[in-house]
A and B are shown apart, each in its own frame.
Chain A
């Protein structure tokens, strides 16, 4: 699992690629979010288009990241949910928690 990070219009965009699953990508995602927050970012957009598999641990990391950023007065939003990730978030009603976008420009404008 690899996570690219870039800045655009004051927003930190994280791009995890591959599996976000227990013992594989969950810790990497946590570290990437903590690194962004520690670096002063209050606007974080996670682009999930490269995620091939996510499990309950990966979903848990997304929720934990959302709570961490929100508690610090920031905003964390999601971009490009693959259909199966969307299904998983839908069944646990997390789709109502996160702001989700299909278009990067639109997501950036929303912060």
Chain B
């Protein structure tokens, strides 16, 4: 039995445990979007959070748990002040984010894989990688959110696009 990490700070909005199947990514997406909508997070920001969480959950299934459906991926989300915090945990053997390649390097540009972590770090405001007690990877994603304007028909508030400054620290998996 793998010991779960301590709950994230703030008000818990949901906690899911899914088997390692890609179709379960859709379940996470539905629950995540519902929680973000209830918080009043505007549509553009919801989209980028959703994409980052998709990538993290897919990584946990594929690279962490190696697709073993008996191994679980846990996803929880909370509100911490002006941020939403999403934590994804797997039961794998862990990984070092420094080992992943730079997808912007010319020699990697046409690789079909290796962009997941890059997108996660691009679309979120903060990403922390850690080791789960008992083994596995824990990734904690943070995003500052603005509430949609009351009665707004579409996206409102801080509908920020992904940052376009790749910087030097992005890595992918």
Residues on A close to B: CB < 8 A? 21-24, 53, 55-57, 59-61, 63-64, 66-67, 84, 87-88, 90-94, 97
Contacts and interface: CB of A to CB of B under 8 A. Distances in A.
Nearest to A55: B54
Contact of A91 (B54, B109, B113, B166): B166
B11 to A, nearest CB: 27
Interface of B: 21-23, 25-26, 47, 50-51, 54-55, 58, 62, 103-104, 109-113, 115-116, 118-119, 122, 161-164, 166, 172
29 contacts: A22-B22, A22-B25, A22-B58, A22-B62, A23-B23, A24-B22, A24-B23, A24-B26, A53-B51, A55-B51, A56-B55, A56-B113, A59-B115, A60-B111, A60-B113, A60-B115, A61-B112, A63-B110, A64-B112, A87-B162, A88-B51, A91-B118, A91-B119, A91-B164, A91-B166, A92-B103, A93-B104, A93-B109, A97-B110
B109 A21 contact: no
Contacts of A59: 115
A21 B25 contact: yes
Given A63-B110, A66-B110, A91-B164, A56 B115 contact: yes
Contacts of A91: 118-119, 122, 162-164, 166
Contacts of A57: 58
A4 B113 CA distance: 25
A57 B166 CA distance: 20
Contacts of B54: 21-22, 55
A58 B25 CA distance: 14
Given A22-B22, A60-B115, A91-B166, A84 B110 contact: no
A90 B116 CA distance: 15
A55 B112 contact: no
Given A63-B110, A87-B161, A90-B164, 11 more contacts: A21-B54, A22-B54, A22-B58, A23-B22, A56-B113, A57-B58, A60-B112, A63-B111, A91-B118, A92-B104, A94-B109
